Amino acid sequence: MALVTIPDQDERLTDPEAIAAYLKTCGIDYERWRLAHPVAIDAPAADILRAYSSEIDELKARGGYVTADVIDVNPETPGLEAMLSKFSREHWHDEDEVRFIISGHGLFHIHPKSTVVAIEVEAGDLIRVPRGTWHWFNLCADRHIRAIRLFQDMSGWTPLYTDSNVDQRYLPVCFGASHLQPNSDAAY
Ligand SMILES: [Fe+2]
């Protein structure tokens, strides 16, 4: 499950309901979904899209998304550092950033008001960062994330930078909610 920290207030949230309620106040949708269709870690994207087609259809209907794909990032991804550097600076999109995490980990920092919030996501987490929200993204130590993405219009996906450098004030470090909560359901 996700882990939310508010670095400037030294606060940490681990309960999914508390996380969803807090993120709602920031304009971020968060839900914990059960990974009902386990797929092999190296399954082709088409297999993942097929397995989760009913969930994808529900999200499309809910958010007006028209296409879905699978993003797969790992240490062997060609041009990994260049790709990551595009998204590790504070930016926004003219498109919602919707991610349903299938495996691996990722760290979103969002900056919706005056407070920066770190959201660590892992398998089973669904997050929607609405268009226009200032944010940035880093991988965690496993350098791996696989997620279903949904789009209203892929041309809106270009990152638009704030050039604030606020991202440099926050360590891109993941703590791992699963490790803090040994009884969690994260080990599907
Ligand atoms: Fe982004």
pLDDT in tens, 101-160: 999 999 999 999 789 999 999 999 999 999 999 999 999 999 999 999 999 887 778 899
Going from the Cα of 151 to the center of ligand 1, the distance in angstroms, rounded, reads: 12
- Give Cβ neighbours of residue 114 (< 8 Å, ≥ 6 apart): none
30 secondary structure, DSSP code: E
> From CA 70, how far away is CA 84, in angstroms rounded?
16
Tell me the CA–centroid distance for residue 164 and ligand 1, in Å.
15
What is the reported pTM?
0.90
For residue 182, how far is its CA from the centre of ligand 1 (angstroms)? 31
162 C-alpha to ligand 1 centroid (Å): 12
Compute the distance from residue 159 Cα to the ligand 1 centre, in Å: 6
Burial 28-58 (b: 16+ CB within 10 A, else e): bbbeeeebeeebeeebeeeebeebbeebbee
Given this model, what pLDDT does residue 178 score? Answer: 54
- List the Cα angle 138/142/148 in 5-degree steps: 65
Q: How many angstroms does the Cα of residue 28 sit away from the middle of ligand 1?
A: 13
Distance between Cα 97 and ligand 1 center (Å):
6
Lowest mean pLDDT among 87-96, 117-126, 178-187: 178-187
Strand partners, 70: 148
80 alpha carbon – ligand 1 mean position (Å): 16
Q: How far is the CA of 183 from the centre of ligand 1 (A)?
A: 32
CA–centroid distance, 43 to ligand 1, in Å, is: 25
Q: What is the structure's pLDDT at 177?
A: 54
Q: How far apart are CA 134 and CA 107, in angstroms?
A: 14
